[in-house]
Amino acid sequence: MADHVCPVWVGYLLASPLRKLFDNPVKRLSPYIRKGMTVVDVGCAMGFFSLPMAEMVGPQGKVICIDLQEKMVQKLYRRAKKKKLLGSIEARVCTRDNLNIDDLENSADFVLAAAVVHEVPHAASFLAELYGAVKNGGKLLVIEPGGHVSEHGFKATIDAAVNCGFTILENSGTRRRHHALFQKISVK
């Protein structure tokens, strides 16, 4: 069970524009996101990924940004306002055990969980909640930092996602960064 949560001061570093030089959000997410989609950024912090996601889905789309810490979400809103992206962004504060997404049932085209699974207390129930929110054919991208999460730890995350019902499409990480793409394929 994880008990470390990314402090707010690190949130400022994670949102730094310099990060784009080695982790470009558009390059990373453009294979999965199209105009008009409903997408989720869980563990969004101050929106390093959420704001480019809002640009990618455009005014007809929606980015649901979820974080445990209200201060992260407040800062995300201020950043979105500056960039005139508030129309496509809805941010929610969750609790450690509940993502507060029951209303999204089978509605998300894409979910990003970047550097968050290692911070959640129960990865299996966290992933099960995300499974419920993804629509049939929708995708989940899990990224974890290699420095914090061992290969063995990431394999446990993959197993937990598959146990929830996700099909794994890709497991293509590097030493610095684990990366796994899943799809929800429900059989009727």
The footprint of ligand SAM on this chain (CB under 6 A) covers a number of residues equal to 22
Six-digit token pair at 58? Answer: 């455009």
- Could you say whether residue 69 binds ligand SAM (CB under 6 A)? yes
Q: Which stretch binds ligand SAM (CB under 6 A): 44-52, 56-64, 160-168, 172-180?
A: 44-52
Quick one: CA dihedral 187, 106, 128, 4, positive or negative? Answer: positive
Q: How far is the CB of 185 from ligand SAM (least distance, A)?
A: 25
Instruction: For residue 96, state whether it binds ligand SAM (rule: CB under 6 A).
Output: yes
114-133 residues in contact with ligand SAM (CB under 6 A) are 114-116, 119-120
> What is the rounded CA–CA span in Å between residue 136 and residue 188?
10
- Position 48 contacts ligand SAM (CB under 6 A): yes
What are the Cα distances from residue 151, in Å, to 62, 117, 139, 143?
A: 33, 14, 22, 12
Nearest distance from C-beta of residue 104 to ligand SAM, angstroms: 14
CB of 165 to ligand SAM, least distance (A): 20
Specify whether the CB–CB gap between 67 and 35 falls below 8 A: no
Single out the residue of 8, 164, 138 nearest to residue 73, CA to CA.
8
Alpha-carbon span 27 to 17, nearest angstrom: 15
Cβ-closest position to ligand SAM: 43
- Contact residues: ligand SAM, CB under 6 A: 5-6, 11, 14, 42-45, 48-49, 66-69, 72, 94, 96, 114-116, 119-120
